[in-house]
Amino acid sequence: MSAGPVLAVRWRIAPGLVCLAGAALTALSGCQAARAIRDPEYAPLAALPSTAIISEASVVSATMPQAPSLAGPHPVDEYVAIALAQNPQVQAKRKRVEAAALRIPQAASLKDPMLDATGYPFFPNVPQTASGRKTVDLMVSQEVPWPGKLGTQGDMAEAETNMARAELVAAELEVVEQVKRAYYELYFVQKSIEITEESRRLAVRLRELVEPKVKTGASLQDLYRVELQVLDFDNDLIRLRQELQSGQARLARLLHVSPDTPLRALPTLSEAASSGELQQLYQQAILARPELHAQLAAVQRDRFATDLSRLQYYPDVRFDFGWGEMTTSKALAPTADGIDDLSIGLAANIPIYRQRLDAGVREAEAKAVASAREYDDLRDRTQEEVKDLFAQATSQQAMLQLFRRDIVPKAEQTLELSIAAYTAQKVDILQVIDNWQQLLRYQIAQQRLEAQLRQTLATLERVVGGILPSPPPQPPDEAVPAPPPEGAARTRNQTDSPAWPLVSPSPSGHVGAAVHGRPSDAGTRG
Q: Give the per-residue pLDDT at 34.
A: 64
The answer for 139, left when phi > 0, alpha when psi is -120 to 50, beta otherwise, is beta
Confidence label for 197 from pLDDT (cuts 50, 70 and 90): very high
User: Looking at the predicted structure, is the pLDDT value of residue 57 above 60?
Assistant: no
Q: Give CATH for domain 84-110+168-314+379-523.
A: 1.20.1600.10
Above pLDDT 90, what percent of the chain?
54
Q: What is the mean pLDDT of residues 453-482?
A: 73
Q: What is the mean pLDDT of residues 505-520?
A: 34
Strand partners, 134: 326
Apex CA 108: angle with CA 102 and CA 114, to 5°?
105
- Whether 137 and 324 have beta carbons less than 8 Å apart is answered as yes
DSSP characters for 260-307?
Answer: TS-EEE-SS-PPPPP---HHHHHHHHHHH-HHHHHHHHHHHHHHHHHH
Q: Give the per-residue pLDDT at 243.
A: 95
Q: Give the per-residue pLDDT at 50.
A: 54
Q: What is the mean pLDDT of residues 483-508?
A: 36
Whole-angstrom Cα distance, residue 445 to residue 408?
10
Confidence label for 236 from pLDDT (cuts 50, 70 and 90): very high
Q: Give the per-residue pLDDT at 218.
A: 65
Confidence label for 504 from pLDDT (cuts 50, 70 and 90): very low
Question: Any idea which of 1-15, 89-103, 190-204, 263-277 has the lowest mean pLDDT?
Answer: 1-15
Angle separating helix axes 354-402 and 278-288, nearest 10 degrees = 150
Confidence label for 506 from pLDDT (cuts 50, 70 and 90): very low
Confidence label for 487 from pLDDT (cuts 50, 70 and 90): very low
Q: What is the pLDDT of residues 413-425, one digit of tens each?
A: 998 888 888 777 7
Please tell me what DSSP assigns to residue 131. Answer: T
Q: What is the mean pLDDT of residues 169-190?
A: 96
User: Looking at the predicted structure, is the pLDDT value of residue 520 above 50?
Assistant: no
User: Looking at the predicted structure, is the pLDDT value of residue 491 above 50?
Assistant: no
Q: What is the mean pLDDT of residues 60-67?
A: 66
Residue type, 384: E
- Residue 328 CB burial class (10 angstroms; 0-12, 13-18, ≥19): middle
CA dihedral 430, 436, 437, 438 (to 10 degrees): 110
Among 372, 366, 360, 361, smallest CA distance to 299 is for: 372
Angle separating helix axes 149-215 and 88-101, nearest 10 degrees = 170
Q: What is the pLDDT of residues 356-406, one digit of tens each?
A: 999 999 999 999 999 999 999 999 999 999 999 999 999 999 999 999 999
How far is C-alpha 190 from the geometric centre of its chain's CA atoms? 27
Mapped onto helix, strand or coil, the DSSP state of residue 342 is strand
Whole-angstrom Cα distance, residue 47 to residue 41?
11
User: Looking at the predicted structure, is the pLDDT value of residue 296 above 80?
Assistant: yes
- Across the chain, what does the average pLDDT equal? 81
Q: What is the mean pLDDT of residues 31-37?
A: 64
Residue type, 238: I
Confidence label for 54 from pLDDT (cuts 50, 70 and 90): low
Cis peptide before 88 (omega within 30 of 0): no
- Give whole-number Cα distances, 234 to 177, 223, 237, 334, 447, in Å: 33, 17, 5, 114, 20
- Whether 203 and 226 have beta carbons less than 8 Å apart is answered as yes
DSSP characters for 398-443?
Answer: HHHHHIIIIIHHHHHHHHHHHHHHHHTTSS-HHHHHHHHHHHHHHH
Confidence label for 516 from pLDDT (cuts 50, 70 and 90): very low
Whole-angstrom Cα distance, residue 245 to residue 417?
38
Half-sphere exposure of 386 (CA within 13 A, CB side): 26
User: Looking at the predicted structure, is the pLDDT value of residue 4 above 60?
Assistant: no
Whole-angstrom Cα distance, residue 447 to residue 332?
104
User: Looking at the predicted structure, is the pLDDT value of residue 282 above 70?
Assistant: yes
Question: Any idea which of 58-67, 421-430, 475-484, 498-507 has the lowest mean pLDDT?
Answer: 498-507
Please tell me what DSSP assigns to residue 507. Answer: P
Q: What is the pLDDT of residues 136-176, one digit of tens each?
A: 899 999 999 999 999 999 999 999 999 999 999 999 999 99
Half-sphere exposure of 85 (CA within 13 A, CB side): 7
Residue type, 236: D
Confidence label for 48 from pLDDT (cuts 50, 70 and 90): low
Above pLDDT 70, what percent of the chain?
77
pTM given for the model: 0.77
- Whether 457 and 277 have beta carbons less than 8 Å apart is answered as no
Q: What is the pLDDT of residues 72-131, one digit of tens each?
A: 999 999 999 999 999 999 999 999 999 999 999 999 999 999 999 888 888 787 887 877
Confidence label for 484 from pLDDT (cuts 50, 70 and 90): very low
Q: Give the per-residue pLDDT at 46.
A: 62
Q: What is the pLDDT of residues 317-331, one digit of tens each?
A: 999 999 988 888 877
* Pairing verdict, β 341-348 and 317-327: antiparallel
Q: What is the mean pLDDT of residues 227-252?
A: 94
- Residue 76 CB burial class (10 angstroms; 0-12, 13-18, ≥19): buried
- Whether 122 and 135 have beta carbons less than 8 Å apart is answered as no
- Residues contacting residue 471 through CB under 8 Å, at least 6 positions apart: 274, 276, 277
Q: Give the per-residue pLDDT at 26.
A: 60
- Whether 410 and 492 have beta carbons less than 8 Å apart is answered as no
Which sign does the torsion angle of CA 418, 420, 423, 426 carry? Answer: negative
Question: Any idea which of 12-21, 131-140, 234-243, 323-332 has the lowest mean pLDDT?
Answer: 12-21
Strand partners, 115: 140
Burial letters for 195-205: b for 16+ Cβ neighbours within 10 Å, e otherwise? Answer: bbebbbebbee
Which of the listed ranges 254-258, 270-274, 510-514 does the model predict with the highest average pLDDT?
Answer: 254-258
Apex CA 303: angle with CA 299 and CA 304, to 5°?
120
